[in-house]
Amino acid sequence: MMPIKMTTSTSTCTIGNAWIVRKPKGPILPEPNTATNTKPSLRWCTVILFLVNICNAVAFSKKMTPPSPKGAIATSGVRVPVPRVPWHEDNTIYADEGPENKEVRRLIEEGDGCVRIFGYGSLCWNPGADGGLSKASQTLGRVRGYKRVWAQKSTDHRGTHDFRGVVCTLLTEDEYYSVLDNSGGTVGTFLSSSVSIDSTSSRITSTSDNDNDNDNDNDSTSSNNNDKTASVHTTKAEKFDKDMVTEGVIFCVPPELVYETLAELDFREKEGYARNVCEVVEEGSNKTYKALIYRGTPDNPVFSSRRLVDFPLCAAIMSVAIGPSGANDVYLNNLDVFLKKIQNFATQHDDTTILAEMVRCFQNNYQLYFLSGGGSNQHNQLLLNRPEIPSLIVAEDAHLRTEIVLPTPLAPTEDRDRSPSSLHNPPKAIFAGGGHSALLTKSGRLFLWGWNDDLQCGAESKSESTAIADRTRARATAPTDPQPLPFVEPLQDIAVETAALGFSHTLVVEKQTGRLYAFGSDERGQVTGRRNVPLSDVAQSPRTPVFLEHEEVAIVGAGLFHSAVVTKRGDLITFGCDRFGQSNLPKRDGMDNTHGCNDKEDHCRWKPVDADRIVDVSCGRRHTVAVDSLNRIWTFGENKHGQLGRKTQQKKGCGPSLVNTEGKIEKDDTVRVYCGWSHTIIHVRGASNGRNKFFGFGRNDKGEIGALSGTR
């Protein structure tokens, strides 16, 4: 049994995917299936979900990394060039020679000691109450050749290191199209001014009464009849004329306030922003001046291409993020109000307006959960299959950790009571199956999504392919409709205490009653425990196996084609496929039943003779692992890769036996087990010191148990 170094508070490996939940500082989620003393935010819930490939179990640390001195920085696993100016680690800003770099010094000299500063974000509506900018003269102005985009992560103002908000930055034409080309995004889908969102419902509709949405009063017949989708189809030069003008405020700072103002801005614009000098045009006089701007370029470590192309993700984050300077939506909405007062062509095509409408839509209609995952997305189990953003569609593997938004409808009580506490339905656990995923809340709402061909997500849920087809047809009739994120509905009629996801079936335990319900594929008896089930048999609605009708269930586990439950009395009951001994069923050749198994149905009731109960269980592809009340580890089933953690004479059909954990587990420790496809993870929480230790055994050719070599 090999120890594993991890930075997580708990981990789980499932038969289809592996996930790890990290519990950083701040209001993040509780451990799966356990209570927590952490009090989350009332406005939002964050869940870190790693749905990595079926053989992998990995952990990540959320910490911003400044540029390395060797010429590259790491941002989500991608190496990018070091910016043109040095990174000041103390202030987390790009600058040279403190508050005065060479370009700024020339700007001051050319202005006879004065300096103009162009504000395009929070400076437009909040230059500071007592700072240098508040004492400087202000005029409206614009900068041509730069586009305002919402792509800069914020931990110092509108978010935290645990949950980063989003603020705006400026990109040049080349930078903007380079980001689009590299990400494969088509943000123009969301930019048409003919689109509006009804913030009192979940609908996003078009305000145009016809197919022609001209932005001026010219009736020229040369206008494209599909002009409302021109932001998608126009050439770069045409889009440059429309989108690459940014409105803002020009501050003229007198000589006596220059140093004070630059010092303030160096601190205020500290996270990833660089100084640039550009030409700005003063409103009214149309005079051109050189001005200083602070902007985050695409090579800074907190720039997010995903936020630039994925408006729903960006808006979802801004709808809930809060930082030291306040709520993220306040920043967005105040800038939106500022731009609407200007009312010109450039502001009508600014991303800010559509994002502000999306934010209101999310806040009025959705309960959002923020996940992070990777691995197979073949059946949209990572919620990344969105036709309007081609770069997100990942057919097989998302090898890098990917941000995910789970959009759920507000519960009925939340619709009636709009108090902050009612908007918070905190997560309790997350689960991953062969092609479907689930999130369980403390109130018992279970959200299932992904593969549903065998109704493993419930009878009411559409299959992933059907859902995509429906959205594609909808977009064909309304190509400019950005489509709000479709709701993932909760499982109907059952308040869930805990759950387990197999390859193509699901087990849930009902709150209060402890009754087990199973649904999905039953081709090996993994749902009902019946013998000789037709291969195409599917449980179309949740059902309880006959032998469990009078049992209260505490813990459940689901494998490839088998299931396991632990009753409130501490019995382990297994059923389903037993080809490799994973269900511990009786021999069918008339041999004596030595494990207390029932030969009338395909199920086995078992617990060690010298322990009063089983306290945890987990199922892999073809093996099962259980923990008894003496903190001993029992394993049975296939042992081809050493996933049973002990030597056996055969590779399959191995009955229950103990794993040697001497020196690794004390009797008062808390022990939990997790099974992957062909590997096992043991999580031990020390009773004396509260420290977490992880041990793994089984298949390791892809680093499933974290070791550099070996299989055990």
Give pLDDT tens digits for 563-613: 999 999 999 999 999 999 999 987 654 433 344 444 455 799 999 999 999
- In this prediction, residue 535 carries a pLDDT of 59
- In this prediction, residue 223 carries a pLDDT of 36
Q: Which of 120-134, 279-293, 342-356 has the lowest mean pLDDT?
A: 342-356
Q: Which of 180-189, 362-371, 614-623 has the lowest mean pLDDT?
A: 180-189
Q: Which of 59-68, 332-341, 505-514 has the lowest mean pLDDT?
A: 59-68
b or e along 65-84 (b: 16 or more beta carbons within 10 Å of the residue's beta carbon)?
A: eebeeeeebebeeeeeebbe
Question: Which secondary-structure segment (H or E) carries 409?
Answer: strand 397-409
- In this prediction, residue 61 carries a pLDDT of 28
Q: Indicate if the pLDDT at residue 74 is higher than 80.
A: no
Q: What are phi and psi of 240, to 5 degrees?
A: -60, -45
- In this prediction, residue 243 carries a pLDDT of 56
- In this prediction, residue 56 carries a pLDDT of 28
CATH 3.10.490.10 occupies which residues in the chain?
Answer: 97-181+242-363
- Separation between Cα atoms, residue 92 and residue 273, nearest integer Å: 8
- Separation between Cα atoms, residue 375 and residue 52, nearest integer Å: 4
Alpha carbon distances (Å) from 53 to 3, 11, 178, 214: 21, 14, 30, 48
- From edge to edge, which strands make up the β-sheet containing 562-567? 553-558, 562-567, 572-576, 603-606, 597-598
- In this prediction, residue 184 carries a pLDDT of 60
CATH 2.130.10.30 occupies which residues in the chain?
Answer: 427-458+481-698
One-letter amino acid identity for 262?
L
Q: Which of 101-105, 339-343, 534-538, 558-562 has the lowest mean pLDDT?
A: 534-538
Among the listed residues 402, 261, 364, 270, the one whose alpha carbon sits nearest the alpha carbon of residue 323 = 270
- Separation between Cα atoms, residue 536 and residue 503, nearest integer Å: 15
The alpha carbon of 128 is separated from its chain's Cα centroid by a whole number of angstroms, namely 34
**What share of the chain has pLDDT > 70, as a percent?**
66
The CA-based angle 527-502-459, given to 5 degrees, is: 60
Alpha carbon distances (Å) from 13 to 55, 407, 574: 9, 24, 19
Alpha carbon distances (Å) from 657 to 75, 239, 551, 607, 644: 46, 68, 26, 11, 9
Q: What are phi and psi of 470, to 5 degrees?
A: -60, -45
- Choice between 394 and 151, residue whose per-residue pLDDT is larger: 151
- In this prediction, residue 707 carries a pLDDT of 59
- Separation between Cα atoms, residue 315 and residue 229, nearest integer Å: 21
Stretch 501-518: mean pLDDT: 97
Q: What are phi and psi of 74, to 5 degrees?
A: -105, 125
At 155-171, the pLDDT tens digits run: 989 999 889 999 999 99
- In this prediction, residue 282 carries a pLDDT of 95
Task: Tell me if residue 363 falls in helix, strand or coil.
Answer: helix
Residues in the chain: 712
Q: Which CATH architecture has domain 427-458+481-698?
A: 7 Propeller (2.130)
- In this prediction, residue 182 carries a pLDDT of 81
Q: What are phi and psi of 99, to 5 degrees?
A: -75, 0
What kind of fold does domain 97-181+242-363 have according to CATH? Hypothetical upf0131 protein ytfp (3.10.490)
- In this prediction, residue 242 carries a pLDDT of 53
Among the listed residues 99, 96, 102, 145, the one whose alpha carbon sits nearest the alpha carbon of residue 120 = 145
Alpha carbon distances (Å) from 663 to 611, 667, 684: 20, 11, 12
Q: Do β-strands 366-376 and 45-46 pair in parallel, antiparallel, or remain unpaired? A: parallel
Among the listed residues 554, 568, 565, 563, the one whose alpha carbon sits nearest the alpha carbon of residue 582 = 563
